Amino acid sequence: IGGPSSRRVALFKNNEQAGKAATDGGGRRSQTPLVNFNPFTPDSLLIQSATQQRNNRKRAHWNDSCGEDMEASDCDGEDDIVPPSKRITMMESNMMSRYISEFHELEKIGCGEFGAVFKCVKRIDGCIYAIKRSKKPLAGSVDEQNALREVYAHAVLGQHPHVVRYYSAWAEDDHMLIQNEYCNGGTLSDIISENYRRLCYLTELELKDLLLQVTRGLKYIHSTSLVHMDIKPSNIFISRKSVPSLDECDEDDDNDAMTTSVVYKIGDLGHVTRVNNPQVEEGDSRYLANEILQEDYSNLTKADIFALALTVLSASGAEPLPTNGDKWHEIRQGKLPAIPQVLSPEFLDLLKLMIHPKPARRPSTSDLIKHPVLLTAARMSADQLRVELNAERFKNALLQKELKKAQMAKAAAEEKVLSTDRVLTRSTVQANPRTSRLIGKKMNRSVSLTIY
């Protein structure tokens, strides 16, 4: 961004000065709330924030001339949120354990360099979440910077079907805790390990679907001027959803056929950085593009494309990727590792293009989504959406059927009550004919004839 970094520095300096100069009416220093500054905030919001701060300063200058007997609401502006001159650390934001009070821990589902991930139920809503808890010590360390980077990136990105959803983050007892969406299918790394053990691999159609879904998530991340910088199987999460299949489904059949929809989601944003003015933290060397190792950051989005190609190759059953050595360099020269299954030449050519030694030659996320090789995967995704749509229609049809049954049962019950009332009335009339004179329009009337 041409001048964002300088603009950010100016914002900090102005806010520091404003914070130092802020005093209340009695000359005492006012307490302004401190917040961390999100480096991934879009520039448009930064400009808007700077404009608002200038307006606040103008109001503050005008407030100085207000009389002592003027109402506070007449001269006070909006409360300013001033970024701190020193970033808030983990220790400064300690509180009573929110993790214990708000969540019930079910099991540990993952562990890595950063820390551990736990499957938890939130006590208030009963839903399942994944809580990532960092290792100790964290305050002032590189791990703390990575943890905050992940929180910043999640907060800016918002929601997307192919990015793990973020809910909240907090610090307690020198730990950073991040509440994310729980993905019930584990990670792609788990699937690859299981496939190695069983000697079976994802088919070409499944590999294309994997490539297409993760590309969509990357396209969304890149559209916000951010790059992931650590795409690999352990950072691709899987959400499995079972839905009824309507191909040969009878409404009266209780044992409905089920189909599973697999959704791939990008997670672990601890290495995310901006495309412009990047602060690069190198990821896993097995998936690292050579230009990043050479500190060439001119085409960072293509580094994600390189890592994505190797991720798909790992899922295809390719031999474990090297961390260094001759084979590592061969891959960076555009040579694909050995694959134990037969893939179409067109698909192999696409993967080879994605690891091209020259980053500019690699396709962008937009190019990949439109690539003819992935059209079959796109059609498959459309079919999955159609299955889910049909499943919703099927559920609605069942609800309509149940509603109709309930209405018929209600009508039958009302008819039974009316029928019972008629029987009781008829019985009463037969038992006591005199009462027939008291019954509605069809009552028996006496006729008196006088003959002269």
- The answer to whether 268 is a known ligand-binding residue is yes
Length of the chain as a residue count: 452
- The answer to whether 217 is a known ligand-binding residue is no
Angle between helix axes 43-63 and 4-21 (nearest 10 degrees) is 30
143, 209, 230, 304: the catalytic one is 230
Beta carbons of 232 and 307 less than 8 angstroms apart: yes
Beta carbons of 237 and 185 less than 8 angstroms apart: yes
- The answer to whether 110 is a known ligand-binding residue is yes
Close Cβ partners of 275 (under 8 Å, ≥ 6 residues apart): 222, 225, 226, 227, 300, 301
Q: Please say if 230 is a catalytic residue.
A: yes
- What gap in Å lies between CA 449 and CA 452, rounded to an integer? 10
Close Cβ partners of 349 (under 8 Å, ≥ 6 residues apart): none
- The answer to whether 254 is a known ligand-binding residue is no
Beta carbons of 181 and 167 less than 8 angstroms apart: yes
- The answer to whether 127 is a known ligand-binding residue is no
- The answer to whether 113 is a known ligand-binding residue is yes
- The answer to whether 112 is a known ligand-binding residue is yes
- The answer to whether 114 is a known ligand-binding residue is yes
- The answer to whether 19 is a known ligand-binding residue is no
- What gap in Å lies between CA 437 and CA 284, rounded to an integer? 98
Q: How many alpha carbons lie under 13 Å from residue 303 in its C-beta half-sphere?
A: 30
- What gap in Å lies between CA 217 and CA 159, rounded to an integer? 10
Burial of 248 per CB tally in 10 Å (0-12, 13-18, 19+): exposed
Most distant pair of Cα atoms in the chain: their distance: 138
- The answer to whether 304 is a known ligand-binding residue is no
Burial of 315 per CB tally in 10 Å (0-12, 13-18, 19+): buried
Beta carbons of 210 and 381 less than 8 angstroms apart: no
Burial of 11 per CB tally in 10 Å (0-12, 13-18, 19+): middle
Beta carbons of 315 and 233 less than 8 angstroms apart: yes
Question: Residue 424 belongs to what H/E stretch?
Answer: helix 375-431
- The answer to whether 77 is a known ligand-binding residue is no
| R_g of the chain computed on alpha carbons | 34
- The answer to whether 283 is a known ligand-binding residue is no
**How does 389-412 read in b/e, with b if 16+ C-beta sit within 10 Å?**
ebbeebeeeeeeeeeeeeeeeeee
Annotated binding residues for Mg(2+), written as ranges, equal 235, 268
Annotated binding residues, written as ranges, equal 109-117, 132, 235, 268
Annotated binding residues for ATP, written as ranges, equal 109-117, 132
List residues with catalytic annotation. 230
